[in-house]
Amino acid sequence: MGKNYDFWIIPKVFLILFFLTFFVYPLALLMVYSLQVQPDALVQFFNLIFSSKYLLVNSFFQASVSTLGAVLVGIPVAFVIARRNFPFKQAVKSLFLIPFVFPSILVVISFILVFGNNGWINQFLQNSFGFQVPVNFLYGFQGIILAHIFYNFPLVAKFVSTAWESSDKTMKEAAQTLGANRIQTFFSITVFQLLPSILASASLVFIYSFMSFAIVLSFGGIQFSTFEVEIFRQIVQNLNLGTASLLAVFQFFVLVLVSGVYFYFSKKFIIFEKPNSEKPKNINLLSAQGIVEVSILLLAILLVVFPFLSLILFAVTDPNTGAFTLKAFEKIFFAQQSSLAGTTPVLAIGYTLFFALAASVLAVFLGLLAVLNQTKTRFTSLIVSGSLAVSTITLGFGYLLGFGSGFFWLIILGHAVFVFPFSFRLLQNAISKIDPDELAAARVLGANRWRVLKFIQWPLMKKSVLVSLAFGFAVSLGELGFVLLMYDGIYPTMSVYVYRMLSHFDLGAAAGMGVVLIALSFFCFYFIEKHSSKVQVF
C-alpha cells in the first residue's frame, strides 16, 4: 500500500499543480479582474448585454437555431446508419469523424468558394440565368447557421446512431403486439430511448456553436457578433479589458449551465449493445422509403466531403482560365519574404507542427497520469467539465492577464489544456475495459505498479494512446482563436496565416495553405481510423 502511494504521489501532485497553474489560475484571475472593473466598463457591459440586445440575442439565437438544424439533419442520418445495411457502411460511419479533425477556418474558405458573392453558385446563376446582383447565401445569419449545421450534424448523427443501434427492441415489440403502429411506436417508445443521446448531443452542439469563433468572425460581422467574437474585439480592437472580462465571465457561467445538461444526459446515454437490440435491414431501393433513405445518405456524405473537395479543386485551378495550376503552392513553399501574416508560409507550417505535436504529447501524458491514478478524486472530472465551458478566447484572455503574450510555451500549454478532455476520455474508455480482477490478481502475485502498467495496462491501452495523440494533434492543428490572441505577431500558425490571407482577399494563398492543412488533418483522420477499430472514440 505504501509503495502504491509513493508511486503515485509525485504524478498526482504534478497533475494538480499543472491545472491549478494553467487552467484554474487564469480563470480565477479573469473573474477577479471582472470584479475590479471601472464603472464605465460596467456601463458598457450592460449596454452591450441589455440595451442594444444584439449581442445577447445573436449568441443565444444563432446557437439555438444551429443546434435545432444540426439535430434535424442528424437524426434522419442516424436512422439510416443505425437501422439500415448498405455498401461501405463502416467507411461512411468513419466519414463522420472528419468534422472533428477538420479546422473551422477551412470550412470558412470552402464556404466562401462555393456560396460567396463570387463563389461557384453565384457564378453559375450569373452565367446561366443572367443574375446581375449576387445572391447573399453566406454573409450574415444564414451563413453562420449553414456552416454550424455542416460542422455539427455529424456529432448528432454519431451520438444518436450509437444509441439507436443498441436500443432495446422488447418494449417496441410489446407496443406493436398491443396494436400500436410504427409511428405510434416511434413516438411512444423509440423517442424516449433516444432522448438522452439527442439531448446530450444537442447540448454539446449548443456549446460549440455558442463559442464558435472563426465562422462567426468571418461571416457575421459586427451586426451578428456573439460573445466570443465580441470578447476578442474588445481586447484587440478597443483595448477594453474591463468589458471583455465581464463578457467572458458571463459567457463562462452560461456555458457551465449548458455543460451540466450535457454531463447529466451523457451519463444516461446508451453506448453498449444489448443482446436484444434490433438488427438493421437492407435498404429497399424499389420502395419510396428506400429512395428517401438513399437520398438522405448521399446528402449527408455530400455535406461532409464537399468543403475539402471544393478547396482542393480551387487550389489547383486557375480562376481565370480554369486550367490546372500549382501557383498557390508555389506561393506557399517558395515565398522568401514575410507575408501579410507576419511570417513566411513555411515558418507558419513549422510553428503549427511544433505546437500541435508538443501539445498533443503533453495532453496524452496528463491524460495517462489522470486515468492511471486509481485514487478517487473529483479534481480531474471538474477539469474535464470546466473545459467544456471555457472557450479558447476566454482561456487566452486569462493567459494574457496572468502570463502576458508572445511566449511560444504558452501556446503549447493552452493547447494541451484544450486537448486534455479528448485525451482523457479516450484513455478512460480504454482503461475502464481492463478487468479489475486481473489487476488485483497481479498485485497479489507480487507485481508492483510499474510491472502492472508495463505488462497489463499498457498493452491494452497503447492503441488508445496513439488515437489520442492523433486527435490531440488534429485539435491543436486547426485552433485559431487562442493563437490569434496570444501569438503577438511572433508565432503565427497555419490557421492564422489562412485567416490573414482571407482578410486581405488573397484566396489563392489561403487555399494553398488550406490544402496543406487538409493533408495534415487527413493524416490524423487516417491514423485515427486505422487504429480505432477497438477504440471507443465517442
pLDDT of residue 52: 61
Please give the C-alpha separations between residue 267 and each of 128, 260, 263, 338, 524, in angstroms, as whole numbers. 53, 11, 6, 50, 28
For residues 387 and 419, what is the distance between their CA atoms, to the nearest angstrom? 9
pTM for the model stands at 0.85
Q: What length is written for the chain?
A: 538
- 459-489 tens-digit pLDDT: 777 888 888 898 889 889 888 889 888 887 7
Question: Do residues 356 and 178 lie in contact, with contact meaning Cβ atoms separated by under 8 Å?
Answer: no
Positive or negative, the CA dihedral 303, 309, 315, 320 is negative
pLDDT surpassing 60 at residue 6: no
Task: Please compute the mean of the pLDDT values over residues 67-90 and round it to a whole number.
Answer: 90
**Model confidence at 174: pLDDT above 80:** no
pLDDT confidence band for 334 (50 / 70 / 90): confident
The DSSP code sequence of 160-216 is HHHHHHT-BSHHHHHHHHTT--HHHHIIIIIHHHHHHHHHHHHHHHHHHHHT--HHH
- Going from the C-alpha of 264 to that of each of 200, 201, 328, 404, the distances in angstroms are 8, 12, 48, 36
* Full DSSP string of 136-152: -SSSSHHHHHHHHHHHH
DSSP state of 23: I
- Asked if the domains 1-36+325-538 and 45-315 are classified in one and the same CATH topology, the answer is yes
> How far from the centroid of its chain's Cα atoms is residue 389's Cα?
13
Q: C-alpha distances in angstroms, 302 versus 70, 305, 312?
A: 15, 5, 15
Distance between CA atoms of residues 146 and 123, nearest Å? 20
Segment 189-208 mean pLDDT: 89
C-alpha cell, 239: 483595448
Q: What's the mean pLDDT when you consider all of the chain? A: 81
pLDDT the model gives residue 448: 62
Q: Does residue 302 register a pLDDT over 80?
A: yes
Q: How confident is the model at residue 272 (pLDDT cuts 50, 70, 90)?
A: very low
Pick the range with the lowest mean pLDDT from 92-96, 209-213, 335-339: 335-339
Give the confidence band of 1 by pLDDT, cuts at 50, 70, 90: very low
pLDDT at 350 over 80: yes
Residues 6+ apart with CB under 8 A from 94: 529
The arithmetic mean of pLDDT across residues 500-525, rounded, is 84
Which residue ranges make up each domain of the chain?
A: 1-36+325-538, 45-315
110-138 average pLDDT score: 84
Instruction: Compute the 3-state secondary structure of the chain and give helix, strand, coil in percent, each to the nearest 5.
Output: 75, 0, 25
Q: What's the CATH architecture for 1-36+325-538? A: Orthogonal Bundle (1.10)
375: pLDDT strictly greater than 50:
no
For residue 342 the three cell numbers come to 507576419
238 or 534, greater pLDDT: 238
Query: What's the pLDDT score for residue 202?
Result: 94
pLDDT at 46: 77
- 80-94, 324-338, 355-369, 464-478: lowest mean pLDDT where? 324-338
Range of lowest pLDDT (159-168, 281-290, 295-304, 378-387): 378-387
Q: What is the DSSP string of 26-54?
A: HHHHHHHHHHT--HHHHHHHHIIIIIS-H
Q: Please give the CATH superfamily to which domain 45-315 belongs.
A: MetI-like (1.10.3720.10)
Percent with pLDDT over 70 in the chain: 85
Q: Looking at residue 296, what is its pLDDT?
A: 92
Q: Three cell numbers at 18?
A: 499543472
Distance CA(494)–CA(349), nearest Å, equals 6
